[in-house]
Amino acid sequence: MSKLLKIRKRDGTYEFFEVSKIEKALFNSIHDARGDKEALRAKALTKQVVQFLETNQLKDISLTVKDVEDVIFDVLNDNRMKDVVEIYKTFQKKQRGLTAFKTFRNVRDDIGLTPNSLKVLSTRYLLKDNEGNIVETPRRLFERVAKCIAMVDSKYKSGSVQKSTKLFTDLLSNLEFLPNTPTLMNAGTDLGQLSACFVLPIEDSLDSIFTTLKNTALIQQSSGGTGFNFSKLRSKGSIVNSTKGVSSGPISFMQIFDKVTGEIKQGGKRRGANMGLLSVYHPDIESFINLKSRDGVMSNFNLSVLLDNSFFERVKEDKHIFLVDPHTKKQVKPVKASELFDLIVENAWKTGDPGIIFIDEINRHNPTPKIGRLEATNPCGEQALLPYESCNLGSINLVNIFVKKQFNWEKLKKTVRTSIHFLDNVIDANKYVIPELEQVTKSNRKIGLGLMGFAETLIKSNIPYDSEQALDFAEKLMSFIQKEARKKSEELGKERGSFPNFEKSVLKDKYSHMRNATVTTIAPTGSISIIAGVSSGIEPLFAISFIREALEGTSLLETNELFENLAREKGFYSKKLMHEIAKQGSIQKIKGIPKNIKQLFVTALDINPEWHVKIQSKFQKHTDNGVSKTVNLPMTATKEEIKKIFLLAHELKCKGITVYRYGSKKQQVLYFSEDNKLLKVKQDYAGGCPDKVCSV
């Protein structure tokens, strides 16, 4: 009896491993290719297959049907039976084609997704009845969303609901573009809240604080993420005039927000997401910077310090800044800017928090400065918004822009135009949980089109991520998207009317019409990149081969598809090699892999930190809003390296920067297992920061 007990089928279920099935399939394939006599070899070949599987099976790692087929092909090739391989493949394909659609955990896959994509869809996105049974397929989900968003066209003379429904359905089901999570979850449902990003004001009064807390609860309950600037709250120990008592300070209120968020859980489907911001000039800034130094504190918040250009000048000149009480406006005490900066660096090194927001750079690109100054962002920091403003994000899947192995700029142009149309419609289709959100959002009509699958796009174009060629491509790509997005928004402005604050905006000097105050944002695309089956946002690959934690406590070996295909084509593929790579995630120290392939398939930790920042800055140059990007660092990274990263990001005019040193947190979604020392990831990780809270 074989030591191999269970095997994971393509539909996600498990069955007992049966040697007889392999022998039968081999017998039939050899018989068709070479006749009766040769078919008698099936038993001996089956024995070779099983022996290899038993010898190379990793502890606690589940076998899949594909794993077994790979070994069968290797054995047949070793026995000079390439003709049988082709027959076997045809036979297996025919067997799988007997059913029109595959199913995965009771989800009928009618568009051809990966098991991991189907798992994410079934957990969070596909509609369920009152008993928790899934009642729609992936295609039906996309049709539901497309129809809801296309209905907005009926409000405008130039619109065609029927045409837009078809366009949007194709766009989504071909995985060429996906909107942010709340749109996929809630479009066409009674809830109807479609935005991912919100900023709410916090003034220095209990009434304002707890009104915002209530509004936060409503937003988080409907799947949104919220950002807050706590800088207006008086510092800890300040006198409260009405009671003559003392204030507990902004951090105490942040902890209340964190607790409430943890209790609500976004939309009942995912953890809450918040951004807490504090000015570097606030008297409580040191406590804020140190806030997450203890593990597990503020787990529903990302934290960032608001830094201006003046602060960086003081750092370089080794001068002091003055902390200012936001209530009295009086200077409280001088602090050496360089020492405060070092404290930020130290905590970012220890825990990944806080990040930095370059607030002057954000406001240098504020499209509506007469309406108000931008002082807060969404949870991942890429979307700066006014108080009570929301934004709808969506991302183009660059991998599906390729046509006949070539990146197709004309297809990208069409995809951008349809995506901008879609996102503008979302603003009107949206159901706003409080009236202030609708008023401010519709006054500026901000949208944020971004991208995902950048790492694979570079690989398919034979461009290393850490190269000048990649920088040039990044700038060309984002410049093209920005230009086409603006063109489409201008057309919509002529057809439907410009956003109400257009005449008070900086855009009126350049355009006669403009539908949206902003059109581009690069989001981290956590869940939607899992659905699309590509890397997150503009992040590099996090690993080439790794173990993904799957269902029912099982773990599966995954290898980047582009690498696996190339390894097979070049003749150095083996299951043993994939296991070896999974011990470190990277191929850079693996023998037997050609140098040019090593240069192409770099991971986040292979790349020198400055290349992360340079890539981010090239995208930022042509992006209206911000760019979500994490500079991933090895455990050995120093504080001095992090300081250089922060200074370079400021110099290159990024709008924010986040670093994450491997092992900074006890709990992270990417880690090396203690038992077999393999790189493991949680089921819904697609790249970027292994710890940060995200709402997209």
482 neighbors 520 (Cβ within 8 angstroms) = yes
Q: Which residues pair with 666 in a beta bridge?
A: none
* SS3 state at 152: helix
Residue 350 to residues 216, 343, 391, 610, 635: CA-CA distances in angstroms? 29, 11, 32, 20, 10
In whole angstroms, what is the distance from residue 588 CA to residue 595 CA? Answer: 9
Nearest to 146 by CA among 107, 187, 109: 187
In whole angstroms, what is the distance from residue 362 CA to residue 376 CA? Answer: 10
In whole angstroms, what is the distance from residue 493 CA to residue 511 CA? Answer: 10
* Residue reference for tokens 């070996």: 557
User: Other CB atoms closer than 10 Å to residue 202's CB: what's the count?
Assistant: 25
Known catalytic membership, residue 86:
no
Known catalytic membership, residue 408:
no
Instruction: Kindly report the backbone phi and psi dihedral angles of residue 395, in degrees, each rounded to the nearest multiple of 5, phi listed first.
Output: -135, 135
In whole angstroms, what is the distance from residue 136 CA to residue 140 CA? Answer: 6
Say which of 116, 186, 229, 378 is annotated catalytic.
378
In whole angstroms, what is the distance from residue 693 CA to residue 220 CA? Answer: 13
Say which of 361, 375, 382, 456 is annotated catalytic.
382
Residue 626 to residues 145, 206, 207, 245, 495: CA-CA distances in angstroms? 26, 32, 31, 41, 28
458 neighbors 471 (Cβ within 8 angstroms) = no
User: Other CB atoms closer than 10 Å to residue 503's CB: what's the count?
Assistant: 10
* SS3 state at 127: coil
In whole angstroms, what is the distance from residue 595 CA to residue 599 CA? Answer: 6
Known catalytic membership, residue 380:
yes
Nearest to 217 by CA among 173, 169, 170, 257: 257
Instruction: Kindly report the backbone phi and psi dihedral angles of residue 567, in degrees, each rounded to the nearest multiple of 5, phi listed first.
Output: -65, -40
Instruction: Kindly report the backbone phi and psi dihedral angles of residue 216, in degrees, each rounded to the nearest multiple of 5, phi listed first.
Output: -60, -45
Say which of 380, 654, 689, 694 is annotated catalytic.
380
Contacts of 48 (CB under 8 A, 6+ apart): 75
Return the active site residues.
378, 380, 382
